[in-house]
Amino acid sequence: MRRWLVAAVAAACVAAGCGGEEAGSGSRELTWFVPFQPGGAIDAITKRCSEKSGGRYSISVELLPTDASQQREQLVRRLGAEDDSVDLIGMDVIWTGEFANAGWLAPVPAGIEEQVTENVFDSVLETARFEGDLYAIPLWSNTQLLWYRTDRVEEPPETWDEMLDIAEELGPAEGRIQVQANRYEGLVVWTNMMIESAGTSILSGTDAVELEREPAERALALMGRLSNSPVVAANISTSTEDTARLGFEDGSSAFMINYPFVYPSAESNAPDVFENMGAAKLPQVVAGEESAPPIGGINLGVSAFSDNKELAFEAAECLVQADNQLEVAKLEGLPPVRSDLFDEPEIREIYPGFADLIRESIADAAPRPAQSPAYQDISLAIQRTVHPTSGIDPGDPGATYDELRENVEDAVNREGLL
């Protein structure tokens, strides 16, 4: 079983403090606030870079909670108070616009920009920029695939309508479709993916609402169709990545939209399901138009209030080097941000048979509208409007569209939550 599945490593990581070794005399200690990861990769790459610095710095780690909202809350409190104990920040890809607009991030120096962006996916780089300037350095990425039962479905469906037709023919005992539709950020991921795949965007730029009516209504109608279908998961209004995983592993589902962590989980927990588990790119909303998968991951930022900015950027440049991205993939199962690394044997082994699918999905991904400093308000507006998704009328989604547009416009016209 792959090491990146073993959560037991988490306890050892916490006990060890997940920090680098002490460097020689005169070394500066850099503090990296980063979300907890169970596989031990944070400990491994911080130790490696501390040793490579030749005594210039050592990296100590302050682990943030696993919940993204709690991560952001802790960082906002410190950065809002101009806390100079924060040097490096492991940031969710949706925080760049808000943090940069607030003046909390030091822009990436021009002298290292070429090195830290080499071969990085354009979709990933978009999450690291604000108003055209680079404020973060991508470290790892993530995206979703369509997972399906090869013993029930001959070929993966090309469109959402086709997937729903196949699932309904199979019936609720074997044909359920698993998504994430609880009132949380995962619902924003699904909504944005559907709208982008339909041919429009939530925002145009950082402060103008786009949401063209026809494609947006098409996306909402499909969300409503699934949510009112006999093959919808019974817990759809509270569904998350983990409930979707469990729903697929129990054998009742033919399809699941989810991240790659579900593959080794099924191998460990549901071998009969795992033996018949296929992967494909997300279905199209409009036949003939490629889907726009979601993009996730962690970018590195340097605090504007750090007394060690130069060293912090030097450390960040080390942390994102190719060998460290491969280490993160091996230990945590999290995809690299560099497209060329998907040709490495390690990645082929980690994602057997679907490494190219992940690369293609990241390349075609459409980020959430997080370039807006008001993104937190926008996210809440989307959640409030479309939850529960069973309330979307698949035959006439116009009322949901009108409410969504109004709520997003209200959110854009307010300052982002700090």
Q: What is the mean pLDDT of the chain?
A: 93
Q: What is the mean pLDDT of residues 153-167?
A: 98
* CA nearest neighbour of 277 among 251, 303, 315, 300: 251
Superfamily of chain region 145-293+368-412: Periplasmic binding protein-like II (3.40.190.10)
Say which residue, 399 or 3, is predicted with more confidence.
Answer: 399
- Give, rounded to a whole angstrom, the gap between the first and last alpha carbons of the chain: 42
361 CB neighbour count, 10 Å cutoff: 28
CATH for the stretch 3-135+296-363:
3.40.190.10
Q: Is 194 left (phi over 0), alpha (psi -120 to 50) or beta?
A: alpha
d(CA 188, CA 194): 10
pLDDT on residue 15: 31
374 burial (CB, 10 Å; 0-12 / 13-18 / 19+) is buried
Vertex 42: Cα angle to 118 and 355 (nearest 5): 55
d(CA 323, CA 274): 30
Least confident of 188-202, 258-272, 402-416: 402-416
> How much is the pTM?
0.92
What is the tens place of the pLDDT at every residue in 363-376?
Answer: 999 999 999 999 99
Look at residue 237 and tell me whether its pLDDT is greater than 70. Answer: yes
Q: Where in the chain is the domain with CATH 3.40.190.10?
A: 3-135+296-363, 145-293+368-412
pLDDT on residue 26: 65
What six digits make up the tokens of 62?
A: 């302050």
Look at residue 115 and tell me whether its pLDDT is greater than 90. Answer: yes
Contact 93, 297 (CB under 8 A): yes
CA distances from 147 to 33, 169, 354, 357, 369 (A): 33, 18, 11, 11, 26
d(CA 343, CA 332): 18
